[in-house]
Homo-oligomer: A and B are copies of this chain.
Amino acid sequence: MAQASPPKFNIRFQPGDIVTTATAGANLMAVAIDAGVHINASCGGAGVCGTCKVLIKEGQVESERTKWLPAKEYEKGIRQACQCWIESDLVVEVLPASRLEKAVIYREQQATAEESLPLVEGWSFQPPAEKYCLSLPPPTMEDNSADLTRLLRVLRQQHNLGNVWLDPVVLPGLAQALRDGDWKVTVTTLTDDAAGVKIINVEPGDTRKKYYSLAFDIGTTAVRGQLLDLNKGKVLAQSIEYNQQISYGEDVISRIVQSQKAGGLKKLQKAVVTTVNKMIGQMAEKARVDSGDICHMVVAANSVMIQLLLGLNPKHLRLSPYVPTVNIVPPVKAKSTGIELGDHVHLYALPLVASYVGGDIVAGVLGTGIYQRDTLTLFIDIGTNGEIVIGNKDWMVTAACSAGPTFEGGGIKHGMIAAAGAIEGFSINPDDCQPQIITIDGEKPKGICGSGLINIAAAMLKAGVISPNGKFNTGLQTDRLRRGDDGYEYVLAYAEETQIDKDIVITEVDLDNLIRSKAAMYAGYKTLARSVGSDCAHMQQVILAGTFGCNIDIENAITIGLLPDLPRDRFVFIGNGSLLGARLTSFSQDLLADGRKIAAMMTNIELSENAAFMDNYMAALFLPHTHAEDFPSVTLDKGGCR
């Protein structure tokens, strides 16, 4: 007898009122992901982070309480989505703290205006995909050579392009295109260092005015895209979206773990491709461009994101000795990844250097032209994985150091991403130790973001509220300082002042995490500089890339020892160096070649098993540093709040 199939239930997610069906016993988190409903899940569904909280408003789930869920919340019907198995029709509310907030990625960057940036120079505007308009003599009985033969002959005669080959995808439409255009056609060629010039498209008539490309920065968290007009070298539209892979975990490690599950790699590829497709649609609509007129795309991304986009198993990126599958990525058909563009569109990925130094860094180095100048430059992209480059036109070394999630609010009791309500600005009254806080968008405080954490620590250090070892000065006369569950803590905002009905505090554990993160970054610069016989003090320029880097207060970052103590005019913010490099590469075959040159020229130093790095790290576990002589401009008020 046939087995009865399990019953189907209707699941309604709020807000958004997204309805889907699920079989009995299905995991609620999995059902949400399939339905395109995002629920935060730092641990990727392992049940051990407690961030995926939902309220079961109607219906039954099987779900036991874990230690990540307070009894009070459990009684109210709150559950961890990843620990719920469906038993009936449901109405599920995704709690505010578990939702994606778009604010963070739309946030204005305080990047330097592009005209005053250090930018790459000396390249000619010649995109990798080029268009040529041809007028062919129609065939006659005297000259009835094949369509392709005729086309290649005229391409040689009219544009001096010989030794050209042809992508076979062009063949099925060739005869019709020539005749539809009454023997006038526009040929798109693609130039690729290794394989020469290739015809990738033949369109009827003169389509040279419709000449567009895409530049993408695919980040672990956010994806940024630009639609470019290749005739004008202009950005026509921009888009930013969360990388839909976020549903599978917040950091690259959880993505790699996910990719090892059955079907995981395909799901992750599909997730990011869905994001990219959505953005292409948005930008094309905004710019009133037919996405069929897009001729190529350039992507910059970290090594894990690139391998996932291309469907390459990222397993070995995190296993010693940390080997990527490919560094100089050959151009691939965009369509082969699932990206919805014409059959002829190729995707160029900026080359990567190593498992943790990706195409985003190469793009930043390319865009800023570090590799062209004598100036000894320190390039920093601060994040969970901080990437560092030191070099000039003659040599470059690079390293990645694991700073941990601190700068994104991870591991901090009231840490949060830099969204509305995050405490960012901070000062302390030296007389009574009372704080003044400024939140993003001026909302009532909800937590502390990474740049806020730096500002708070710097102000407290300067005022003597904390000591250089990160411990509170327990002799202070203020009730803001108190003992909490995690030892001493300082109250930044009392419950009634907040959006979360809880005191927002900063604890000694938070400060300890911050110190370890900044020590990892600083030890990175130092180890890398020393590896080439130099020193942080010799850096003639410091370039800060990335969204987080651009929201740092330089002075405060130096005060806590996150950045080296150099003259302030040596620092420059470039904003999203990854997207900058992708855009410029989209404009120039020279830069496409330079990207490969840069990747080949960069020497990667593995810090994780490096003894000097460990020594430098230990020495940096102090505010600003164990060696005060490294930070001559930082003076601390030894007195503390009186």
Interfacial residues of chain A within 291-320, with CB under 8 A of chain B in the complex: 310-313, 315-316, 320
Q: In the complex, what distance in Å separates the CA atom of A323 from the CA atom of B175?
A: 9
Complex contact B195–A323 (CB within 8 A): no
Complex contact B321–A146 (CB within 8 A): no
Complex contact A326–B146 (CB within 8 A): yes
Contacting residues, chain B, for A355 (C-beta < 8 A): 144
**Least distance between A159 CB and chain B CB atoms (Å):** 17
Given contacts A195-B198, A312-B175, contact A323 B148 (CB under 8 A): no
Complex contact B321–A195 (CB within 8 A): no
Complex contact B323–A144 (CB within 8 A): yes
Contacting residues, chain B, for A175 (C-beta < 8 A): 312-313, 315-316, 323, 325
Q: In the complex, what distance in Å separates the CA atom of A321 from the CA atom of B194?
A: 38
Q: In the complex, what distance in Å separates the CA atom of A278 from the CA atom of B506?
A: 73
A333 and chain B: residue at smallest CB distance: B168
Complex contact B194–A163 (CB within 8 A): yes
Which of B145, B174, B312, B327 is close to A149, meaning CB atoms less than 8 Å apart?
A: B327
Which of B140, B166, B311 is close to A330, meaning CB atoms less than 8 Å apart?
A: B166
Q: Does A324 contact B (CB under 8 A)?
A: yes
Q: Does A606 contact B (CB under 8 A)?
A: yes
Contacting residues, chain B, for A330 (C-beta < 8 A): 165-168, 171
Complex contact A323–B145 (CB within 8 A): yes
Interfacial residues of chain A within 346-360, with CB under 8 A of chain B in the complex: 352, 354-355
Complex contact A146–B325 (CB within 8 A): yes
Complex contact B148–A327 (CB within 8 A): yes
Contacting residues, chain B, for A174 (C-beta < 8 A): 312, 325-326
Given contacts A176-B313, A312-B175, contact A147 B324 (CB under 8 A): yes
Q: In the complex, what distance in Å separates the CA atom of A604 from the CA atom of B143?
A: 10
Contacting residues, chain B, for A336 (C-beta < 8 A): 168
Complex contact B328–A148 (CB within 8 A): yes
Complex contact A323–B171 (CB within 8 A): no
Contacting residues, chain B, for A352 (C-beta < 8 A): 146
Per-position contact with B for A597-615: 1 when CB-CB < 8 Å, else 0?
0000000101001000000
Q: Does A2 contact B (CB under 8 A)?
A: no
Contacting residues, chain B, for A196 (C-beta < 8 A): 194-196
A interface residues (Cβ-Cβ under 8 A, vs B): 139-141, 144-149, 163-168, 171-172, 174-176, 192, 194-196, 198, 310-313, 315-316, 320-328, 330-333, 336, 352, 354-355, 604, 606, 609
Known: A145-B327, A171-B330, A174-B326. 10 other contacts (CB 8 A): A147-B323, A147-B325, A147-B326, A165-B192, A167-B330, A168-B336, A172-B310, A175-B316, A175-B325, A194-B196
Task: Enumerate 14 A-B pairs (CB-CB under 8 Å) in ascending A order.
Answer: A144-B604, A146-B323, A147-B325, A147-B326, A149-B326, A165-B194, A165-B195, A168-B331, A171-B312, A171-B325, A171-B326, A175-B312, A175-B325, A195-B196
